[in-house]
Structure 1
Amino acid sequence: MNSLITSDWVRHLKISFVGTALSLSVIGATANETWATPQNQTIKQTIQTLEKSDQRWIQVNLSTQRLIAWEGGKPVYAVIISSGKKSTPTRVGTFKIQSKHKSTRMRGRNYDVPNVPHAMFYQGNYGIHGAYWHKKFGTPVSQGCVNVAPNHAKWLFDWASLGTQVVIHK
């Protein structure tokens, strides 16, 4: 069993009991301090492992609205994306490309878009695909997918295979 509490954490924890309830406080933490979450740690470890490999993988940085295609630790292609807007965010995590479609129709609650080019789905209806209906790359505008310009979507589609890892983080 892996423990999330390291010796570094123990030095900064105040543990107390109030009745039967356990209370944990972080000593010396400021409001601006960001503590690593298990998901962030998993993403960081996955990136470190992939960088040491010779595998092809895709990194999506939601904070910078950038996608980088990697071969191990070597970046081979980089593009500006449009991820999900606040009301329909792009999911953070590590995924694998599960299906590829040269062209597909995408439907949702507020959209119905035919002929979406070079779609690669990594979790359910979430995918990386070309977007011919807008030019707002660099701005989150999608329904949760990772939008790229159609010419970039084609390059990624031709380069990636089923099972290619996709790492999405903030």
Structure 2
Amino acid sequence: MKKKVFVLFFLLFFLFGNPIQVADIYTTEKLITVDLHKQMLFAWDGGNIIDKTKVSTGLRKTPTVKGSFKIRYKLTSQTMKGESKAYGKYFYKNVPDVMYFYQGYAIHGAYWHNRFGSPASHGCVNVPLAFASWLYEWAPKGTRVEIF
């Protein structure tokens, strides 16, 4: 029994354990990919990268969720507040161009820091303001989001 479980685990890891690479992405539709290691967001259309930007994703104790998602809903502006044991309270008024893709996780503009290219968030994907505005207009609700 243990041998069967090990073989099954090995096969699953071999088939699905390798991280997605930008070169592995193919689509005929709009797609957003976020590379957590490189702290980069790529906008794809028809299998081609049409734009990219540095981002700030979650800090070590408040990581950005990995996986395959879709933009669930969009807000032009929202006040964001909360608290984490690791980093304390936060309160940001009028956060622009918010696109939720999973529970409380969103891609949005960030005016309160300029540390793009390094983790700096409570789990969201922070994007420079001009890019966030463009991305918000470009990506409709339902656009696929891949975070790896």
TM-score scaled by structure 1?
0.73
Task: Give the letter aligned to residue 119 of structure 2.
Answer: P
**Larger RCO of the pair (alpha carbons < 8 Å, separation 6+):** 2
- For the pair 1:159 / 2:116, whether they are aligned, the reply is no
How many residue pairs get matched? Answer: 136
Structure 1 segments of 4+ aligned residues over 2 angstroms from their partners: 23-26, 35-38
Task: Give the letter aligned to residue 71 of structure 1.
Answer: D
Cα distance per residue 1:125-150 (max 9 Å; x no partner): 10100000000001101000000111
- For the pair 1:130 / 2:104, whether they are aligned, the reply is no
Cα distance per residue 1:40-86 (max 9 Å; x no partner): 56x74xx85x61x3200000000000000001210001000000000
Q: Report the RMSD for the aligned CA atoms in angstroms.
A: 2.3
Could you list the runs of 5+ residues in structure 2 that have no partner in the other structure?
Answer: 8-12, 84-88
Q: 2:50 — aligned with what? A: 76
Do the aligned partners of residues 36 and 63 (structure 1) sit closer, same or farther apart at CA in structure 2, a change above 3 Å counting? farther
Percent of pairs identical after alignment? 40
- Return the alpha-carbon distance in structure 1 between the equivalents of residues 95 and 49 of structure 2: 26
- For the pair 1:22 / 2:9, whether they are aligned, the reply is no
Larger Rg: 1
Could you list the runs of 5+ residues in structure 1 that have no partner in the other structure?
Answer: 1-20, 27-34
